[in-house]
A and B are shown apart, each in its own frame.
Chain A
Amino acid sequence: MHVGLEHYLVVSALLFSLGLLGVLARRNVLVMYMSLELMLNAANLALVAFSRFNNNLNGQVMVFFIITVAAAEVSVGLALIVALYRKRQTAHVEDLTAMKL
């Protein structure tokens, strides 16, 4: 079968689900963060695929922005994790339950 939009979208969906699973199952904040990156990339893939098959470059511009924002987000997020680690001596979500009253 000729590879079309559907194929890329399925790959994107599966990749997204993998990332989601990582966020849900892993206990290490850093790995959860990586899983988030996976999810972002899955979205990127879908966008690029749409862009290609719809003959419209706007999708790729969007991806460009996503990558930029993701970079910013990663830097801030990691800085937060470092700060958190300094304070609590852990990077383990089960130990970070300050939100509980």
Chain B
Amino acid sequence: MSLLPWLILFLPLAGAVGITLFTQRDRDLSAKISIAAVWLSFFFSGLLCLFTSGTFKDAGLSAEWLTVGDLVVDFGFIIDPLSSLMLFIVTGVGGLIHIYSYGYMHEDRAVSRFFASLSLFTFAMLGVVLANNLLMMFIFWELVGVSSYLLIGFWYEKESAADAAKKAFITNRLGDFGFILGIILVWATLGGLNFSVLKETLAKNPGAMGGLATAAGLLLFCGAMGKSAQFPLHVWLPDAMEGPTPVSALIHAATMVAAGVYMLCRVFFLLDVPGSHAQLGYMVMAVGLAAPGAAMFHLATHAFFKALLFLGAGSVIHALHHEQDIWKMGGLKSKLPTTYRTFLIGTLALCGVPPLSGFYSKDGILAAASPSGSHPNPFLFILVVGVAALTAFYMARLFLVAFLGKAKDHCVDHAHESPGVMIWPLRILGTLSVIAGFMGLEQMLGRFFGDEHAHSLGYIAQLFAPFGHAPLAAFFGLFATVLGFSVAYALYANASTDPLPAKLGFLARAMRDRFYFDEIYTGLIRLTHEAISYVASWIDRWLVAGLVVRGTHGTTELFGRALRLVQTGNLQTYAFLLVLGVALLLFIILK
């Protein structure tokens, strides 16, 4: 039984290693190994869940990895509803993406490398999910970073892809800097790294963290910011689209971005100290609002429909032979019927149309912030409603322009539906997006985070629950969606070019340039590190190597030149000097 987590974790790694070492040449076999590995993991996750019903503790789940002094690091697993759910998301959604990639990447030269990286990524994500202590989480955290680096930079010969990979990694590194310091701080104050140990310590002595709680929280949060691409470390995410589309789906939706949220939920108890919420609240709203259950719920549904949308987009791109400009599409509804249908489901789910999953999960967050919720916060509430409206607007825009209307370019003419390996993952994800909202996930997570009000309702009751316990939130959510849709329809229903830039002027340009964040970052790095390294280099070249080293060398040589005058090369001069010396010595000794 306790063998299962080990198998779940190491199967993908075995796949990655096997592919790298043995099956580089055989592209098809590599892909199959990778897919088999992730689905086996999925299968074992199912078994684990079945046998343990979510929570499991066993000595066989942990092994000592490193012990020096009072630093004890285990290599162990934590099995609870939270990680079980994530196991399913990572292996399930990840597995679908694996299958999808088999079709999508079929033509590529380096399929083996792709699937090896994919398996490595899965391994790393599973590690983050299963880790039972902070340092192990950090280790896999970093591995997620590096495998995403490999995936984003998969087409390394493209300058933009190579740059994007580099950027993603370095930005993540900035977050990790905070993460590791946070870990050290927690270890130094609480004396442990295991989540269970930390929880016990805090339960016994809630004030153990003292004034350092806020600092530790912010530092750990820093790590989540990097991975989840939270402002201001979001800059890498748009560029990460340079990788193959399944990678975008994996990073964006299924897993990597989710890792940040998962981590915050995992260390939630550490942050659950008065005072530290306020800073975090505006950033990872739900966690900040002390509603990690809602956050995880949204994370799960988000994984389904975001993956669905990306894979749908990938299907379109695949059909159009790597044309990515939506203003050259249009009328894809008839050409790609399945993609169209599933994409529609994804869009509606993302926009929060009931009864699709997005509505419920978003409602959970809205409810927490609403005036009648657990943490009333009108400002956040309005913000979330506004964001929901914006989301509805841009998704409707995309959908109207790309799928409906007339074809805007002849490349659409030759489009045909993607093969089955790509379509079936879409169908499965579509189904999940529809039903995830009322399956009871929310209650399960709620119980895990200690909300005693959570209780199971019937499926039908579940459908209408949001309107029951927080009607204000539910109606505001719906209102936002409808508003977004209407505006988009008015603007784009029959447009053949984008009318918005003309209307918004400067703002549109700023948006196109992503509010100049890249420029600001480049400038910041120029100003700090480049400048310092320039100065350091100058000091090293001219002061240390130049003045001091060459100076010493020069002075020595100068003396040498002066002394060389004495060196006439004449034997008798030397002898004479010798004799003078001897005479002097004799005089001193004998005088």
DSSP majority for the B interface? helix
**Which one of B67-75, B438-446, B516-524, B571-579 is at the A interface?**
B571-579
List chain A residues, Cβ under 8 A from B579: 20, 24
B 561-588 to A, binary, CB cutoff 8 A, 1 in contact else 0: 0001001111110011001000000000
A20–B578 Cα distance when bound, in Å, is 11
Q: Which of A1-9, A54-62, A91-99 contacts B (4 or more CB under 8 A)?
A: A91-99
Q: A20-B579, A24-B576, A24-B579 are in contact. Are A93 and B571 (CB under 8 A)?
A: yes
Residue from B567, B572, B575, B576 in contact with A101 in the complex, judged by beta carbons closer than 8 Å:
B567
**Complex: how many Å from CA A100 to CA B568?**
6
Interface size on B, residues (CB 8 A): 10
Q: How far is the CA of A27 from the CA of B579 in the complex (A)?
A: 17
- Measured CB to CB, the closest approach of chain A to B565, in angstroms, equals 10
The CA of A32 and the CA of B567, in the complex, are separated in Å by 20
Whether a CB of chain B sits under 8 angstroms from the CB of A18 is no
Tell me the complex Cα distance, A93–B576, Å. 13
Whether A101 contacts B571 in the complex (CB less than 8 A), given A24-B576, A24-B579, comes out as: no
* 8 Å CB contact of B570 from A23, A32, A94, A101: A94
CA gap between A94 and B572 in the complex, in Å: 8
The CA of A93 and the CA of B451, in the complex, are separated in Å by 106
Contact with B along A43-75 (1 / 0, CB 8 A): 000000000000000000000000000000000
The residue of chain A having its C-beta at the shortest distance from the C-beta of B567 within the complex is: A100
CB closest residue in chain A, given B569: A100
Q: Which of A23, A27, A97 contacts B568 (CB 8 A)?
A: A97
Q: Name the residue of chain B whose CB is nearest to the CB of A25.
A: B572
**What A residues does B576 contact at CB under 8 A?**
24
Residue contact B572 to A97, C-beta cutoff 8 Å: no
Residues of A within 8 A of B571 (CB): 32, 93, 96
A 21-38 binary contact with B (CB < 8 Å = 1; else 0): 001100100001000000
With A and B bound together, what is the CA distance between A97 and B569 in angstroms? 4
Measured in the bound complex, the distance between the Cα atoms of B579 and A89 in whole Å is 29
Closest chain A CB from B566 CB (angstroms):
10
Q: How large is the interface on A (under 10, 10 to 19, 20 to 34, 35 or more residues)?
A: 10 to 19
A32 to B570, CA, bound (A): 13
- B569's partner among A20, A23, A24, A99 (CB-CB below 8 A) is A99
Summed over the interface, the residue pairs from A and B with CB atoms below 8 Å come to a total of: 27
| Chain B residue nearest in CB terms to A98 | B569
The answer on a CB contact under 8 Å between B570 and A93 is yes
Contacts of A100 in B (CB 8 A): 567-570
Nearest A residue to B570, CB-CB: A97
CA distance A96 to B573 in the complex (A): 12
Assembled-state Cα–Cα distance A99/B576 (Å): 16
Q: Let me know if A24 and B572 touch, CB within 8 A.
A: yes
Tell me which residues across on chain B come within 8 A of A20, comparing CB atoms: 579
A21 to chain B, nearest CB (A): 9
Rounded to whole Å, the gap between the CB of B586 and the closest CB of chain A is 11
Q: Which residues of A contact B567 (CB under 8 A)?
A: 99-101
Q: Which residues of B contact A97 (CB under 8 A)?
A: 568-570
CA distance A94 to B568 in the complex (A): 10
How far is B567's CA from A98's CA once the two chains are assembled, in angstroms? 11
In the assembled complex, the Cα of A8 lies from the Cα of B572 at a distance in Å of: 29
CB contacts (< 8 Å) of A24 on chain B: these are: 572, 575-576, 579
Instruction: Give CA–CA (A27, B572) in the complex, Å.
Output: 8
Report B551 CB to chain A, min CB distance, Å. 23
Smallest beta-carbon distance B129→chain A, Å: 74
Closest residue on chain A to residue B582 by CB atoms: A20
Nearest residue in B to A93 (C-beta to C-beta)? B571
A residues within 8 A CB of B572? 23-24, 27, 93
Q: How distant is B227 from chain A, measured CB to nearest CB, in Å? A: 66
Looking at the assembled complex, report how far the CB atom of A38 sits from the nearest CB atom of chain B, in whole angstroms. Answer: 14
How many Å from the CB of A26 to the closest CB on chain B? 9
- Contact between A23 and B575, CB atoms less than 8 A apart: yes
Considering the complex, give the chain B residue whose CB is closest to the CB of A27.
B572
Give CA–CA (A93, B568) in the complex, Å: 12
Q: A96 CA to B568 CA in the complex, in Å?
A: 11
- Smallest distance from the beta carbon of A39 to chain B beta carbons, Å? 12
Q: Which residues of B contact A23 (CB under 8 A)?
A: 572, 575
Contacting residues, chain B, for A32 (C-beta < 8 A): 571
Q: Distance (Å) between the CB of A12 and the closest chain B CB?
A: 15
Closest to A95 in B: B570
Min CB distance, A97 to chain B, in Å? 3
For B564, what are the chain A residues with a Cβ–Cβ distance below 8 Å?
101
Q: Kindly provide the distance from the CB of A101 to the nearest chain B CB, expressed in whole angstroms.
A: 6
CB contacts (< 8 Å) of A94 on chain B: these are 570
Q: Which residues of B contact A99 (CB under 8 A)?
A: 567, 569
Using Cβ atoms and an 8 Å threshold, which residues of chain A touch B575? 23-24
On chain B, the residues within 8 Å of A98 by CB distance are: 569
CB distance from A71 to the nearest CB of B (A): 23
Across the two chains, which residue of chain B brings its CB closest to A20? B579
A23→B576 CA distance, assembly (Å): 9
Chain B window 153-169, contacts with chain A (Cβ cutoff 8 Å), 1 for yes, 0 for no: 00000000000000000
27 pairs of residues in contact across A and B, judged by CB atoms under 8 Å: A20-B579, A23-B572, A23-B575, A24-B572, A24-B575, A24-B576, A24-B579, A27-B572, A32-B571, A93-B570, A93-B571, A93-B572, A94-B570, A96-B569, A96-B571, A97-B568, A97-B569, A97-B570, A98-B569, A99-B567, A99-B569, A100-B567, A100-B568, A100-B569, A100-B570, A101-B564, A101-B567
The 7 closest A-B pairs by CB, nearest first: A100-B569, A97-B569, A99-B569, A93-B571, A23-B575, A24-B576, A97-B570
Instruction: Give A residues with C-beta under 8 Å from B.
Output: 20, 23-24, 27, 32, 93-94, 96-101
- What would 14 more interface pairs be, CB under 8 Å, given A96-B569, A98-B569? A20-B579, A23-B572, A23-B575, A24-B575, A24-B576, A32-B571, A93-B571, A93-B572, A96-B571, A97-B568, A99-B567, A100-B567, A100-B568, A100-B569
